[in-house]
A and B are shown apart, each in its own frame.
Chain A
Amino acid sequence: MSDTTRLIIVAVGGQGNLLASSVLGEAALMSGIPFRMSEIHGMAQRGGVVESAMVFGNAQSNLISDGEADVLVGFEPLETLRAMNKCNPDTVVITNVTPLPPFTVAIGKGVYPPIDTILELIRGKVRTLISLDATALAQQAGNILAVNMVLLGALAQSGILPLNAEAIRKAIGAKTKPAFLDANLKAFDLGVQAAK
């Protein structure tokens, strides 16, 4: 397992998780780095959780077992916390801090924990936690939907993937509609800055 890097991305349907992982796949292809990826996206459009697993390196598997993620990227803080079972003490966790409360909270089936509690719980478990307001940064970049690009920036800056920021920027160029490209690249750069 030494020459592999295992990444889990969790998000709420509609947050652009699948585009983010496809950007990373494209970047890996361009960089000549072997990778495999697996997704569960059956209910993505119905507000459920979307999870992608990406394994970079020479492994054959494309699933990531409990405790075996090297890096966990969460687009929504509650979902980041829910995915902690994928982490071990050495896992790097990168999370957005802006919540998207599930409708179960509105109908009184559960309480959304305070963000500080969520971050404290995560921080107490893993070596590194990078938290940022990706939603605000996406807005700042001019596209509220670019949360995924901000988090890709933070992920690139963390240096944990065998991909450099330039390759990811190039892949964003290849995978983004021209109308959104400038905002997406700006969002990516803001993510890089925020994770410094």
Chain B
Amino acid sequence: MHKLLTDQPGARMVLLGNEAITRGALEAGVAVTAAYPGTPSSEISLNFFQMAQECDLYFEWSTNEKVALEVVAAAANCGVRSMCMMKHVGLNVAADALMTLAYVGVKAGLVVLTADDPFMFSSQNEQDNRYYGKLSGLPVLEPSSVEEAKEMVAFAFELSETLQEPVLFRTTTRINHSTAPVTLGPISPRKTKGYFKKDPMNYVTVPAVSRMLHVKLLKHDETARELSENSPYNVVTGSGKWGIVCSGVSYAYVLDALADLHIQDRVQVLRIGFSHPLPEKKVAAFLASCEKVLVAEEGEPVLEEGIRSIAQAAGLTLPIRGKGEGLFSRLYEFDPAMVRRVVAGYFNVPYTPKAPVAVNDIPPLPQRPPNLCAGCSHRATFYAVKQAAQGKDVIYPTDIGCYTLGFLPPLGMGDFLICMGGSTSTPCGFSKATDQKVVSFIGDSTFFHSGMTGLANAVFNNHNFTLIILDNGITAMTGHQPNPGVDMSLFQLSGYGRISIQEVVKALGVKHISVIKPYKVRKSIETIREALDYQGVSVVISEEMCTLFSKSLKRLKARPFMVSDKCRNHRDCVNLLGCPAFTLENDRVKIDPTICVGCAVCAQICPENAIVPLKSS
């Protein structure tokens, strides 16, 4: 049985934040769930996917975040508790649905989880999604710890039903990927089927309807404000003339800072967990009791601006600071020592930080960036494209997935990246605005997520570029989740459809389509060369299963290769491919047989044919 289905209220379990959130939703009786994977939220959807195979909970891998939100929006309007989860940038994709869903509202609890990523551990930006609360008019909840996340997600469902609105549940990486002991609660029975009661004058958002719905949303916002005023998640602790307002993980750093600085008796803390709408009266009363206030929040000055505006309305003129020189930064994530230093500085408390050891005598160390795996088919495709394009001035737009790593040396394949699916649309602009050749890369999952519309645009507007679709048969980057192109029998699951990328591309009107097997180096180069010579939109589909996935399915029979004594140390293998199976020993190239999977790409490019199967030697 899945460990999160354990029906032992009161039991203590060590859970990852994402597991605690999943469990909290389960305890609240969530019945319909949907997601497109994205770090740091991915383990939530993975757990729902696994649990759905053991109970009547519904989970689906949706093609993108907007689709996921629309799926659960409909379910929640049939009276079934629903949830979707995504990384912060996923909410940009879903924002179109979100903004008007706020007008329509819900009939049963709907929680929309957005996992923000301060410091961008695995993201392209560190946008602060608390602004979506303001933008949409929807309530925002922000947990400060793993344990609280579990409780708060259950409350989010209740809040959603009280307000008849979806609730934004905003986490950050340090909640999602933190671990702590959590006490299990009872699992509420799930209501898995509802009924859709027609009500077009409230559901069909033509202008006349929406004008009324906006009024309703503002009423809900007023109710939310009262609930926020009285919410136990907006809580004052401690006492003193100094004040700190904080939210999310900053709360933990603030509490530790006060203890470490021995000023608990001089500072009161207002922790905001129900952060939109702000509890104006509670904040005003807090401010009135303080001489000066510090706002501790990661990301943008969302709380700070809200609090200053409350102070202005209340005629309070005390100093309120948060972001700024010598204070907190809008950049990256906080850490305990940084918060301690800012608190000490702002309230002028003596503080001697623990001195880290000097590291200036440490020589520059070789970096260890993440790399495409040994035998990764993307490496083979990048190499083939590079060879096929020799002599051409090429722009390589790329997209989001493992293959983004291809931009690193020695491959150096990746020139432009902004968002999911952008690699099918930015080439349209590049090829119009320059005379350079454009070859772009997209993975199978990203193609289904948001690549198809760009390709349709390219065909319709008669652009000129080559799109390489890197089809490794799975959503690899986030941990091998299915997508519409995946054969679900690999997961021992039936009842799924399967879409052929080649047929989609054909149906979109692409006239030059070819398929390569990237481990066949020479053939691949020839095929790509033809595609590059085509005037118009050409598509090359590179088909080879993700090596890691193949390994996890126990399908991979590794037949490692070795460098024989025919080697003349040209090092084309190392310098052009950069496979992690290569090592240097006494200035000679070796292949680590425990890492090599036997893709044989290096063997095909060695000018001396010196790389041979280990077995036959």
Contacts and interface: CB of A to CB of B under 8 A. Distances in A.
A78 B260 CA distance: 32
Nearest to B339: A61
Interface string A19-36: 001100110110000111
Dominant secondary structure at the B interface: loop
A102 B574 contact: no
Interface string A63-84: 1111110000000001101101
A194 interface: no
B553 interface: no
A61 B256 contact: yes
B367 A110 contact: yes
A23 B181 CA distance: 13
Nearest to A37: B179
Contact of B366 (A35, A41, A61, A112): A112
A8 interface: no
Given A107-B578, A110-B365, A87 B357 contact: yes
A196 interface: no
Interface residues of A, number: 61
B353 interface: yes
Interface in A132-148: none
A179 interface: no
A162 interface: no
Interface stretch (A46-54, A150-158, A181-189): A46-54
A46 B402 contact: yes
A62 interface: yes
Interface stretch (B50-58, B370-378, B491-499): B370-378
B354 interface: yes
Most B CB atoms within 10 A — which of A49, A63, A121? A63
B209 interface: no
B366 A88 contact: no
A125 B357 contact: yes
Interface string B348-360: 0000011111110
Interface string A169-180: 000000000000
Contacts of B336: 59, 61, 63-65, 68
B89 interface: no
Interface in B116-142: 121-122
Interface string A91-123: 100000000011111111111110000000100
A46 B370 contact: yes
Interface string B177-204: 1111100000000000000000000000
Contacts of B410: 107
A109 B365 CA distance: 10
A102 B367 contact: yes
B354 A67 contact: yes
Given A103-B582, A106-B584, A85 B366 contact: no
B354 A104 contact: no
A62 B180 contact: yes
Nearest to A110: B366
Given A101-B583, A121-B361, A46 B174 contact: no
A38 B578 contact: no
B515 interface: no
B242 interface: no
A182 B185 CA distance: 35
Nearest to A101: B583
B578 A88 contact: no
B578 A103 contact: yes
Contacts of A105: 366, 583-584
A45 B372 CA distance: 9
Contacts of B208: none
Contacts of A86: 356
A42 B121 contact: yes
Given A39-B177, A60-B255, A103-B578, A110 B357 contact: no
B371 A46 contact: yes
A12 interface: yes
Contacts of B14: 22, 25-26, 29
Contacts of A87: 356-357
Contact of B365 (A26, A46, A63, A113): A113
Given A37-B178, A60-B252, A88 B368 contact: no
A121 B360 CA distance: 11
Q: Give the interface residue-count category, chain B.
A: 35 or more
Contacts of A103: 371, 578-580, 582
Interface in B538-556: 548
B337 interface: yes
B368 A49 contact: yes
Nearest to B13: A29
Contacts of A1: 256, 260
B357 A79 contact: no
Interface in B564-583: 574-575, 578-580, 582-583
Given A68-B336, A78-B365, A104-B367, A62 B358 contact: no
A67 B357 CA distance: 7
A40 B178 CA distance: 9
A125 B589 CA distance: 35
B367 A65 contact: no
Given A29-B12, A84-B359, A88-B355, A47 B371 contact: yes
A86 B337 CA distance: 12
Nearest to B357: A125
B179 A38 contact: yes
Nearest to A111: B366
Interface in B205-235: none
Contacts of B12: 29
Contacts of B391: none
A86 B356 CA distance: 7
Contacts of B362: 81, 84, 121
A91 B357 CA distance: 9
Nearest to A36: B180
Interface of B: 12, 14, 39-40, 121-122, 145-146, 173-174, 177-181, 251-253, 255-256, 260, 335-338, 353-359, 361-373, 402, 405, 409-410, 548, 574-575, 578-580, 582-584, 589
Interface of A: 1, 12-13, 21-22, 25-26, 28-29, 34-43, 45-49, 59-68, 78-79, 81-82, 84-89, 91, 101-113, 121, 125-126
The 9 residue pairs across chains A and B that have the minimum distance between CB atoms: A110-B366, A67-B356, A65-B337, A42-B122, A46-B370, A60-B252, A43-B370, A48-B370, A102-B368
21 contacts: A1-B256, A25-B179, A36-B180, A38-B178, A43-B370, A46-B371, A46-B372, A47-B368, A48-B371, A49-B368, A60-B252, A61-B256, A62-B252, A63-B174, A78-B365, A78-B366, A87-B356, A103-B579, A106-B584, A107-B410, A125-B358
Given A63-B174, A66-B335, 20 more contacts: A1-B260, A13-B370, A21-B179, A37-B179, A38-B174, A42-B40, A48-B370, A60-B252, A60-B255, A65-B337, A66-B356, A78-B368, A81-B362, A85-B357, A101-B366, A102-B366, A105-B584, A106-B584, A110-B367, A113-B365
